[in-house]
A and B are shown apart, each in its own frame.
Chain A
Amino acid sequence: METDTSKPPILTLQNIGYSYHSLQGETLALSDISFQVAEGEFIAIVGPSGCGKSTLLSIIARLIEPENGTIIIQNPDGSIHYPHIGYMLQKDYLFEWRSVYDNVILGLELNKKKTKENLDYVNTMLKEYGLYEFKNKKPSELSGGMKQRAALIRTLALKPQILLLDEPFSALDYQTRLQVSGDIGEIIHQSKITAILVTHDLSEAISLADKVFILSSRPATIKKELPILLTKKSDSLIASRNAPEFASYFNELWEALSNEK
């Protein structure tokens, strides 16, 4: 498998396999998945629904153990500890009994990291993403896009080295979705954080990612790897979508996926 040699890989998955077990039998979800993620890279994983994309993220986040294969960590500083992983779920899951501020510092609270430095960082992000005036409100008083941004701040507050995004925009209506995915894409590109996005939206994958992996249907394997290089005038989502290469990437992905069903 070809890899980007300009940047060293931070995370390498080797022959990852996973099955779900029930009394009725075994369902193979992932089979022989191998890929590398370089530092600062934005990876998108697309695949037919129910193919095990979320399972893959759960394995990388170490919420579940893979049955086969290994995950190799190569931190830039040479250490071997597992990198801090941030995980954005499909919905924001902000707690209604906490204010927006208390929600975004939840991770710091759980890890006993409520230092002045970290709280300042949270406040800076709240200001930057237009949520500072809403920090004492209840989550239900925010719009869908604002909630998703609050959820992102909650994840980023812990300064993760790798950010996993599990269809984080799928619960939003189309207009909000475009806007929020643009916002969040920009935030991630600016902070140079390594990100892995799982989505079934091809345009979203092309406009946000540096590289797209296509998974086959169950049991999922990597079917195709597509580096994305867009000629664009600015960093915005619309610029990405207007890039001349967009349509051909879209067709390539569409064909690869259509053969799957």
Chain B
Amino acid sequence: MKNKKRQELSAQELYLKKHRQHKRVVSFSRLFVFLFFLLVWELASDFGFIDSFFFSSPSLVMQCAYRMMLDGSLFVHIGVTLLETLISFLLVFLLGITTAMLLWYSDKLSEILEPYLVILNSLPKSALAPLLIVWLGTGIKTIIVAGISVAVFGSIISLYTGFHEVDKNKLTLIRTLGGNKRDSFMKVVLPSSIPTVISTIKVNIGLALVGVIIGEFLAARQGLGYLIIYGSQVFQLHMVIMSIVLLCIIALGLYQGIQLLERKVTKWF
């Protein structure tokens, strides 16, 4: 009996050991792929296999980042892009929840607006950019509106769909207990749609960044999107690549932030 127990325990330990080993291999390989890529890129440009003027190199990118950090301009560009993204994201979130709520309240309204939402959602938003520049000028307003336009229609549609999928019997329950439609929304629809809300947020934060970069391409004097366009125009390709890398890091950071929020929220519910 005791022997058997020991065997079971060691089987579990073996499993845990295997699991840890697997995790280590994955993490190590991920890092290796990254470093190997950097090394090949660096050597290829150092030995002239590729033209560092066009393809840059890790060291040139780092030098560029260092220079821009020293004069502080890098932080301004990052800050501007981050700020614009967060503002667009928050506005998308508020607009999305409010509109989806109104559509849920009124079936008639949602039926009337449905084709418009579908069309606006599938419209390529970059097509709107020239109009936005004419209407709002070049600056933060245009960029935030561009960020909103990319994410807002999809988020209305997915939130409304989520609200609508709530079990109708739960709504009947609220009515049998004497609650009204507002109670149904606050006590049933909203709490049971938390997973939908979180997945919409995850999609939206990425889309807001996409919209902001589109906006900065066309109508900005600051921000990473501007830096990419400016860098390509003056053939400073290490500036372009540095901005792209920074965008990767920002996207990762925003996503991690949302995941942190998700863990907090799911603990409450």
Contacts and interface: CB of A to CB of B under 8 A. Distances in A.
Interface string A215-237: 00000000000000000000000
Given A89-B169, A95-B188, A97-B191, A111 B178 contact: yes
Given A93-B169, A95-B188, A110 B183 contact: yes
Contact of B172 (A86, A89, A106, A109): A89
Given A93-B169, A97-B269, A110 B191 contact: no
Interface in B216-249: none
Nearest to B179: A110
B192 interface: yes
Contacts of A63: 172, 175-176
Contacts of A91: 169
A158 interface: yes
A110 B177 contact: yes
A106 B177 contact: yes
B166 to A, nearest CB: 11
Question: Which secondary structure dominates where chain B touches chain A?
Answer: helix
A155 B167 CA distance: 19
A110 B174 contact: yes
A158 B178 CA distance: 10
B4 to A, nearest CB: 32
Contact of A158 (B175, B177, B183): B177
A87 interface: yes
A92 to B, nearest CB: 9
Contact of B176 (A61, A97, A109): A61
B178 A107 contact: yes
Contacts of B67: none
Nearest to A84: B178
B197 to A, nearest CB: 13
Q: What's the interface size class on B, roughly?
A: 10 to 19
A90 B172 CA distance: 11
Contacts of B192: 95, 97
**Highest count of chain B CB atoms <10 Å: which of A87, A97, A107, A158:** A97
B25 interface: no
Interface in B181-226: 183, 187-188, 191-192, 194
A89 B176 contact: yes
A110 B178 contact: yes
Interface string A41-74: 0000000000000000000010100000000000
B213 to A, nearest CB: 37
A211 to B, nearest CB: 24
B170 interface: yes
Given A106-B187, A110-B183, A93 B178 contact: no
A154 interface: yes
B37 to A, nearest CB: 45
Contact of A89 (B173, B178, B187): B173
A87 B176 contact: yes
Contacts of B194: 97
A89 B170 CA distance: 10
Contact of A110 (B169, B170, B187): B187
Nearest to B268: A97
A90 B173 CA distance: 10
A87 B176 CA distance: 6
Interface string A105-136: 01101110000000000000000000000000
A158 B177 CA distance: 8
B38 to A, nearest CB: 47
Contacts of B173: 89, 93
Contact of A93 (B170, B191, B269): B170
A80 to B, nearest CB: 19
Contacts of B183: 110
**Highest count of chain A CB atoms <10 Å: which of B169, B176, B191, B194:** B176
Contacts of A111: 177-178
Interface string B253-269: 00000000000000001
Q: Which 4 residue pairs of A and B lie closest in terms of their CB atoms, listed nearest first?
A: A87-B176, A107-B177, A110-B179, A97-B269
Interface of A: 61, 63, 85-87, 89-91, 93, 95, 97, 106-107, 109-111, 154-155, 158
Interface of B: 167, 169-170, 172-179, 183, 187-188, 191-192, 194, 269
27 contacts: A61-B176, A63-B176, A86-B176, A89-B169, A89-B172, A89-B173, A90-B169, A95-B170, A95-B187, A95-B188, A95-B192, A97-B191, A97-B192, A97-B269, A106-B177, A106-B187, A107-B177, A109-B187, A110-B174, A110-B177, A110-B187, A111-B177, A154-B177, A155-B176, A155-B177, A158-B177, A158-B178
